Amino acid sequence: MRVYFRITLCCMLISLFLVACSGGERELVKVSWSPQELKQGEVLFVTVRPEAEITSVAGDLDGTPIYFYKQNEGGLAGIVGVDLATAPGQHYLRMEVKDPKGESFEQVFQIMVREGGFEVQRLTLSEKMVTLEGEILERYLAEHRKTKEIFNQVRLERLWHQPFICPVDGPITSSFGLRRILNDKPRSPHSGVDIGAPMGTNVGACNDGIVVLAQELYLEGKTIIIDHGFGLYSIYMHLSEMQVNEGQRVRAGAVIGLIGATGRVTGPHLHWGIKLLGARVDPFSLVKAVAPRE
């Protein structure tokens, strides 16, 4: 049994046909993805359209699984994130399908990841907010362990069924991937986007999901985390009020809290972050990737 691929370009997607040769060629699936070249911190949208009867589809990007879901047109789609610290260069998308006879067909495609071109920002804060010691350090570490445990959980169910939306209107005051230098000391890159808005402005859920954290954290302030399924989480930080409870189901656009300035901040704004199977990705890349095509 051999596997062949035929390559075509269409609408800025790379399309490939997985073809089995068994007494004549037959097309099994067409695999497409966008964008053609990713930047650090972006989301890859993968579609699979069956051209023959198949029983299963599986895929991964550098070993990170892609959870596929049905689209209205009969195809399958899935998303996978490239962390903002992923090394630029060639990475590998693996696809595998099985036919009704139980035979597997696999191919690996090269995906190019480019540098994100992230900016650098210098901030001056009180030393106690930059250097954590004693009980404050212990609190921070405990909170970090708790959120890490949350992000390590993968709900094998897709809770969103529509495009993602921005949780609040306002200017971007700090961009995704920003390299921050606090009091002349390099810190971790900015893993979300900061959106400026007046104190008390409503903050909406970016999509359907389940609230898995609603707690005031030391650095992040009043924080809400929503599980959207398939290892996808949205994070809302520095709120003045939290108006949902852990375990509560929310709909896209539902008010979950109010803009504030809690935690380590210099003024009222929303820090909006996305984690996809552990990858820190640009929220606006997710909004763009999950377009109204499903």
- pLDDT tens string 155-172: 999 999 999 999 999 999
The pLDDT of residue 10: 32
Its pTM stands at: 0.89
Cα first-last separation, the chain: 34
| Calpha distance 214→222 (Å, rounded) | 7
- pLDDT tens string 84-97: 999 999 999 999 99
**Token reading at 127:** 């030393």
Domain boundaries, position 136: 120-289
Give the residue from 114, 129, 163 where a domain finishes: 114
Assigned domain for 198 exists: yes
The pLDDT of residue 293: 54
Whether 90 and 153 map to the same domain: the answer is: no
H or E stretch at 141: helix 134-151
Does the bond joining 35 to the residue before it have cis omega, within 30 degrees of 0?
A: yes
**177 contact partners, CB below 8 Å, separation of at least 6:** 40, 41, 84, 116, 118, 119, 189, 190, 282
Whether 84 and 188 map to the same domain: the answer is: no
| Cβ–Cβ < 8 Å for 193, 174 | yes
pLDDT tens by residue, the chain, 294 residues:
233 333 333 333 444 555 554 444 556 889 999 998 899 999 999 999 988 888 999 999 999 999 999 987 779 999 999 999 999 999 999 999 998 988 888 989 999 999 998 988 777 776 666 678 899 999 999 999 999 999 999 999 999 999 999 999 999 999 999 988 877 777 788 999 999 999 999 999 999 999 999 999 999 999 999 999 999 999 999 999 999 999 999 999 999 999 999 998 889 999 999 999 999 999 999 999 987 654
Amino acid at 263: G
Domain containing residue 15: CATH number:
2.60.40.1930
Domain containing residue 230: CATH number:
2.70.70.10
Domains in the chain: how many in total? Answer: 2
| Calpha distance 2→19 (Å, rounded) | 9
| Calpha distance 222→63 (Å, rounded) | 34
Assigned domain for 246 exists: yes
The pLDDT of residue 181: 83
Assigned domain for 294 exists: no
Whether 128 and 268 map to the same domain: the answer is: yes
Whether 129 and 275 map to the same domain: the answer is: yes
H or E stretch at 288: helix 283-289
**Token reading at 174:** 């700090």
